[in-house]
Amino acid sequence: MGTVTRLEGRAPVLALVAATAAALAYAYTFTFSQFVPYDDEGYFTVTVQHLLDGHRLYDDVPVPYGPFFYLSRWLIHGALRVPLVTDAVRLITIGHWLLCAALLAAVTYRLSHRRDGRLWLTTITFVAMVLQLSTAAREPGHPQELAALLIGVVCLLATFVAPGQRSLACGLLGAAAGASLLVKINVGVFFAAGMGVALVLLGPTGGWWRLVRRGSIVVIALPFALLRRDVGQLWAAEFCAVTTVGIALAWIVAYRIELDVRCTPRDVFLYPVGMLCATVVTVGFMMLRGTSLAGLWSGAVLQPVQFPLQFGWPVRIGGYAVLCGAMSAALLLLYETGGERTRARLVSRVLPPCKLGAAGFAIGEALTERWGRTPETLLTYGPAFLWLALVPPIGVRWSPREAFGRTLLCLIAAPQVLIAYPVPGSQVLFGTMVIVVIGVLLLSDVLVALVSAASGTSRPLRPCSPPWDSMRAAASRPMPTADRSMWTAAASCGSRSRIPCCTSGWWTTSKRPRTPSCRRSD
């Protein structure tokens, strides 16, 4: 019996080790068996060689991507003397690919509320991310692999934010956002905007900061600002609609999320400071290599902004994506405007099946992408269910780490799908990778709800009414002064909420809780 118990305890660890070994073999064989006709690998290898040879990028060598990518390549091939050959470039791609998958799997481990079973969920995330990000092997050496790695670093960093270390964390988050802006500007803009809004919503709730929190709703204008040239076409209007709805729903739930410890204005202020530091270091490096500010601005900012006018194709929209977004918005409206009884019923009966369906959809899309499924389905359906990850299962209250990490994940994932415009190729898979992680977290929530329901600790019971008859009978008998004061406090508590010492209107355990207001104080 003891041997069986030990094997059951080791099974998730063995599964994770086996998945890691299989991922290494798969990544190596798949990467070294790919070659695409447009040969981005050769183009970026040549531009890096020009940098190492001392040529001025952006001025003498036209480059449409940001300078932080070239700073990282200079550190690898210049400072560390790694040969700039095809084998090295592809091995670096494998490192970025698997490291990003491991970071996002660690995010699942950190944010899963249920402790037993976390390793299984971590393994699911790792396998799904290895398959989802296999597109990196088709374009070795592309800057998007570094951008994806930065997103993975930020998501994991958000799970280690402690109350006394939020200033440092916000500064590091800002530095990562600045680096992302200087790798691939379209990825960086949506990444930095989503993360900045998340930090604002996780900040103070009173005073002048309330205006800042409400003003952050402008983030929902990002889809229209991006697609304004094509919004007259049906596909662009639908893509704009589903993305706007996804961002808006995530913002509404994040705005009302409860936190025990919030970021201070000083913490949030360090976010743009971190962005500025990353920008100064990167731009300073390029200027030392001979690049002018005018050439850098033209190549890294102006040319990418004009790219949609030169090249691109429509995003394929799922047939019922707009309807799915509308139904999700209606569900959230009912959840936010309904009373306590309506909300309790939604959390216990309606949201768990919705979470399970969204989790199965996200994980299934990631696992089957390698075999020719259409990736745009997750791109267009995914944003509608992101807000579900911010609603805890019944009887559960998020810890500060969970609330901070989940809020950051949702507000990063919602606008990140916009990177699929104007070229919905491999960008679709990079833009939806955080949605897959959120899908696994939704599966974790469903498991928590099932265990709670099975144990009977979160089963909603019938509403209780104050025991007036017992209170009257007790009041008719002589009692000590302390006991009389206790019953008086109980009666006043019951008159306010219909249930003594329970303001929610529903008991969440089989035993009636005793609150400090109804305890006897001798």
Q: Which of 8, 407, 508 is nearest to 201 (CA)?
A: 407
Sign of the Cα torsion 449, 455, 456, 458 reads negative
384 and 246 in contact (C-beta within 8 Å)? yes
pLDDT above 90 (res 241): yes
| Token representation of residue 280 | 């100064």
pLDDT digits (tens, 9 = 90+) for 31-80: 999 888 888 899 999 999 999 999 999 999 999 899 999 999 999 999 99
Q: Cα separation of 446 and 444, whole Å?
A: 5
| Token representation of residue 205 | 């709730």
Separation in Å, CA 154 to CA 62, 138, 172, 500: 30, 25, 8, 45
In the prediction, which pLDDT does 457 show? 52
The residue written with tokens 């897959």 in the block is 436
328 and 361 in contact (C-beta within 8 Å)? no
Reported as a pLDDT band with limits 50, 70 and 90, residue 476 is very low
Residues whose CB falls within 8 Å of the CB of residue 166, separated by 6 or more in sequence, listed in order: 263, 264, 267
Q: Which of 325, 319, 316 is nearest to 250 (CA)?
A: 325
Long-range contacts of the stretch 331-337 (C-beta < 8 A, 24+): 332/249, 332/252, 332/253, 332/387, 335/391, 336/252, 336/256
* Most confident region among 264-268, 339-343, 432-436 by mean pLDDT: 432-436
For the chain, the average pLDDT equals 84
Three-state secondary structure call for residue 451? helix
**Cα angle, residue 191 at apex, residues 241 and 301 outer, rounded to 5°:** 95
182 and 68 in contact (C-beta within 8 Å)? yes
Reported as a pLDDT band with limits 50, 70 and 90, residue 369 is low
**% of the chain residues with pLDDT over 70:** 84
Q: Cα separation of 352 and 330, whole Å?
A: 16
pTM: 0.85
Separation in Å, CA 198 to CA 211, 254, 342, 411, 416: 15, 8, 28, 6, 14
Reported as a pLDDT band with limits 50, 70 and 90, residue 375 is low
pLDDT digits (tens, 9 = 90+) for 197-239: 999 999 988 888 999 999 999 999 999 999 999 999 999 999 9
Buried b (16+ CB within 10 A) or exposed e, 83-111: ebeeeebbbbbbebbbebbbbbbbbbbbb
Reported as a pLDDT band with limits 50, 70 and 90, residue 339 is confident
In the prediction, which pLDDT does 503 show? 34
pLDDT above 60 (res 86): yes
Residues whose CB falls within 8 Å of the CB of residue 342, separated by 6 or more in sequence, listed in order: 334, 335
pLDDT above 60 (res 290): yes
Tell me the one-letter amino acid at 207.
Answer: G
| Token representation of residue 38 | 């447009």
Whether the bond between 422 and the residue before it is cis, its omega within 30 degrees of 0, is: yes
pLDDT above 70 (res 515): no
Residues whose CB falls within 8 Å of the CB of residue 289, separated by 6 or more in sequence, listed in order: 51, 54, 56, 57
